[in-house]
Structure 1
Amino acid sequence: MSQSEINAEWQPVARPLNSKDFKTLILSSLGGTLEFYDFVIYALYIDTIVKPLFLPPTLSPLTLDLFAWGIFAAGYLVRPVGGIIMAHFGDKVGRKQMFTLSVAMMALPTFIIGILPTYETIGIVAPLLLLLMRMLQGAAIGGEMPGAWVFIAEHTPKQRYGLGVGTLTSGITGGILLGFFVTIMVDLYFTSQNILDYAWRIPFIIGGIFGVISVYLRKFLSETPIFKELAARKALEKSIPVVTVIKKHKTACLIVALLTWSLSTAIMVGILITPGRIVGGMYHFANLDWRIGGCIAALTLSIGCVISGWLDDKLGTAKTVILTWGGLAVVSIYFYSSLAPDMSLTKLYWIWALFGLFIGSIAMTPIIGTRTFPPAIRYSGLSLSYNLAYALFSAITPTLTIYLLSPDHILGEYSYLGAGIYISAVAILAVLVGFSTLAQKGWQNNANNKSVNS
């Protein structure tokens, strides 16, 4: 990579996409799909497997909900630890090595979950082991997500930056689609008793195998041209990257943190909590029906991520956040207000597809967030702000959502809109953040922008 191929803002110059770009996108996206599948498969089994098999049967329904989703949230709470450590070495020794390590760290705990004894067998040790495995998964994905976005952002030509990051995000969220698909297959081919007895283990064991495949695939990727250029010019960060981030890039951290709140809420509430807890639990649709609906939403989510990235390249950030996040603010209220126990499956699936499409606006979080930091500390900056924010908001979101959905609390008779109101609020927040100067222009290597970037 010659200096002429890196512009003044340390981005790949505008050029046509070539076969190497497509290979990088495909391999990175597929690896992200397999790893994210490992992480979210737990959420898809909370009501049908985790609560009946891993928690004491004497607990009240509300307590079961809080403990089950608390174990899920624990995976997010440890993300900053794994993310900061892997990002440090990603900025020091290279993006690719950490990009591969994160997948390897995900595969083992996923496989172990698939062979864990249940509460009936070993008592309270069962949920404690499950909690430990979730924490190990969280540490792994803490390095995976920011690392993947930085990796693609530094490979993709400038005029295709949004499309590149959006496509990768689509691949990562495709893991949710894969998770729904595998659980649907399990539901179709096994009886409810078979699933409780042994078949629930199959998706987790498959996930562990997927992790090994991901490690193999990433051997075919090359280091990012920008990191190579930094190393060649001896321009790598000489101090501890995360310290530089905290001292000099507070505005960028705030922007990423707020956008992460929007992203985490849209994914956790709209994609992971809504199928089983709301459509299945509140409106009493059958397991297979809500799994199919969730699968449809996950598919359109992946499509929406690509569209969001393409729009950012074509229209710019300000117009794109209005169309994407602004659209989600409206559609979320429409979706939850339309749900009814007696509605047809056709209507349910159509409005769920539309809802999922606009949740694709989450791709704007990495598109904006990755470019707000200079390349020497980009991995650390994105990882610190993204993972800390995700840990914070994922810890409060399940409890807050359950609270909003209760007719005994703040929303009263309008509690059925609780999830929609929460998603709509954070979507509007994302629109406002998208209008900031740093969000639109990103970090720029000139003296006039120093005040903006710190």
Structure 2
Amino acid sequence: MTTADAAIPSTTFKTLGKQDVRVLGLAALGGALEFYDFIVFVYLSSIVEQLFFPEDMPVWLRTLQTFGIFAIGYLIRPLGGGIMAHFGDLIGRKALFMVSILLMAIPTLLIGMLPTYASWGIAAPLLLLLLRVCQGVAFAGEGPGATTFVAEHVPRQHIGLAGGALACGFMVGLLLGVSVSYACRHFFSEASQLSFAWRLPFLLGGVLGFVALWVRRQLHETPVFEQMRARRAQSSALPIGIVLKDHRRTALTLMLAAFVQSCLFISVVLLTPVLLPRIAGVSEIGMLKVSIMVVVMTALGCLIGGCLSDRFTEPKTWVAFCALGGGCFALLQLLTIKGVLLETQWLFWGLYGASGFLLALTGIVSAMAAKMFPAEVRFSGVSFSTNSAYALSGGITPLLLTTGIHYSPWAIMVYVLLLAGVGSVLGVALMGGRMPRYL
């Protein structure tokens, strides 16, 4: 621990007070609305691919290119996150917290107004790609910024709870995205969806983004950063330079943990509802219903996983969730593809819900991330590590699984089991006090 960081307490409270709860609530609400903007794209992907690519293009190629546009939002994150985090460590957490949500709201609103391929030709998907880049830059600052912000506000013995609450807020945004997508499919005919209804979730997202901006005006700068500023403890060196020089091993460790967490989340929560109908005969509208339940279970898993990490440490909780969650998902895929679960709905819902709950590792990663770097480079360290991991996972996973199921229906199961195994090994390696702690 650096001298500067040792002199700066994480909080003056020993238990969660009203101010802590307020900060957690406002941060989680803002994160929920921003995550909705970022993620609603994937649930409308089957409509987007029909509107933004030529009709005579093979379906698998349209799907691949649509998920490629989705992936660019992840691939841009290291660059966008590096810029946002640099200023977050130098000028303050709150300022960047506000900027990130504005950069998300405007592109989301514009996506809802975009002309389609039939009107503008190749310019339509190119503009869609550009707006996804803007969304990726915005969300690159949101995740690390929120993690740093809440961790520096709450008592250190409740950082896991704070990370879990924040992750739960993101899942609420995801739940909103699933619910709005389901409503769009349920209340509008296919012709209406392709004509105008697909725009409504994006327009709603843009409006909600500005609501989130107003909500966050009520937040105050973190006590840790205020004390750093008063002591002029910010380093004159580039924060990312300090991370790469003095905290390289820590950054790589967190990067691997975030990579596993993100790949599992994308595979189990985001892509399985989209891809399972193509490999197991499950209806698309039926999977949207199931998705709502899975997102609720994932939200609970994030919150409870974060709380358990406060009690049992992050590595132990991480290993338990990885091992049990991987097993549940493998059984789900095995029985579904064999046709067993299609006749036993309660078992399908139960196994999928348990998989979402146990593979909800986001809260645990947030708690680990906040503790692993000193205050003066915390934003940059968390941003560099997690955004690099999310770029890889978001770029690799959709393309890999979309291509993989073209050759084998077992692709998703094998991928998830491999990730759960790697995650378990990593958790075991982090046991015994090997994880650096600055909070």
TM-score, normalisation: structure 2: 0.94
In structure 2, distance between residues paired with 1:163 and 1:151: 14
Hey, what does 1:192 align to over in structure 2? 190
Hey, what does 1:361 align to over in structure 2? 361
In structure 2, distance between residues paired with 1:11 and 1:420: 41
Task: List aligned pairs for 1:7-406, cutoff 5 A.
Answer: 10-12=9-11, 15-47=14-46, 49-278=47-276, 280-340=277-337, 342-406=342-406
User: Could you tell me how far 1:156 is from its partner in structure 2?
Assistant: 1.3
Cα distance per residue 1:303-341 (max 9 Å; x no partner) = 000011111111122321222122222122112112145
User: Could you tell me how far 1:172 is from its partner in structure 2?
Assistant: 1.1
User: Could you tell me how far 1:444 is from its partner in structure 2?
Assistant: 4.7
Q: Secondary structure at the match of 2:406?
A: coil
In structure 2, distance between residues paired with 1:321 and 1:128: 40
In structure 2, distance between residues paired with 1:62 and 1:142: 29
Q: Which amino acid aligns with 1:380?
A: S
Instruction: Indicate if the aligned counterparts of 1:14 and 1:158 stay in contact, CA closer than 8 A.
Output: no
In structure 1, distance between residues paired with 2:14 and 2:410: 46
Any stretches of 5+ residues in structure 2 without a counterpart? Answer: none
| Alpha-carbon distance change, 13 to 319 in structure 1, aligned in 2, over 3 angstroms | farther
In structure 1, distance between residues paired with 2:432 and 2:299: 23
Instruction: Indicate if the aligned counterparts of 1:369 and 1:439 stay in contact, CA closer than 8 A.
Output: no
Tell me the percent identity: 34
Cα distance per residue 1:210-249 (max 9 Å; x no partner) = 0000100001111111111111222112211011111111
Instruction: Indicate if the aligned counterparts of 1:305 and 1:363 stay in contact, CA closer than 8 A.
Output: yes
User: Could you tell me how far 1:445 is from its partner in structure 2?
Assistant: 6.4
| Alpha-carbon distance change, 277 to 325 in structure 1, aligned in 2, over 3 angstroms | same
Q: Which amino acid aligns with 2:397?
A: T
Between Structure 1 and Structure 2, how many residues are aligned?
432
User: Could you tell me how far 1:283 is from its partner in structure 2?
Assistant: 2.3
Q: Secondary structure at the match of 1:117?
A: coil
> What root-mean-square deviation, in Å, do the aligned CA atoms of Structure 1 and Structure 2 show?
1.9
User: Could you tell me how far 1:61 is from its partner in structure 2?
Assistant: 2.4
Cα distance per residue 1:40-77 (max 9 Å; x no partner) = 11000111x11111111222222112111100101111
Q: Secondary structure at the match of 1:216?
A: helix
In structure 2, distance between residues paired with 1:441 and 1:292: 42
| Alpha-carbon distance change, 434 to 8 in structure 1, aligned in 2, over 3 angstroms | farther
In structure 2, distance between residues paired with 1:72 and 1:396: 11
User: Could you tell me how far 1:344 is from its partner in structure 2?
Assistant: 4.0
Cα distance per residue 1:338-375 (max 9 Å; x no partner) = 21453344333222211111121232222212211111
Q: Which amino acid aligns with 1:222?
A: H
Q: Which amino acid aligns with 1:112?
A: L
Instruction: Indicate if the aligned counterparts of 1:332 and 1:421 stay in contact, CA closer than 8 A.
Output: no
Q: Which amino acid aligns with 1:63?
A: L
In structure 2, distance between residues paired with 1:426 and 1:347: 24
In structure 1, distance between residues paired with 2:425 and 2:247: 20
In structure 1, distance between residues paired with 2:152 and 2:164: 14
User: Could you tell me how far 1:441 is from its partner in structure 2?
Assistant: 6.2
Any stretches of 5+ residues in structure 1 without a counterpart? Answer: 1-5, 408-414, 447-454
Q: Which amino acid aligns with 1:371?
A: K
TM-score, normalisation: structure 1: 0.91
Instruction: Indicate if the aligned counterparts of 2:373 and 2:438 stay in contact, CA closer than 8 A.
Output: no
In structure 2, distance between residues paired with 1:379 and 1:306: 22
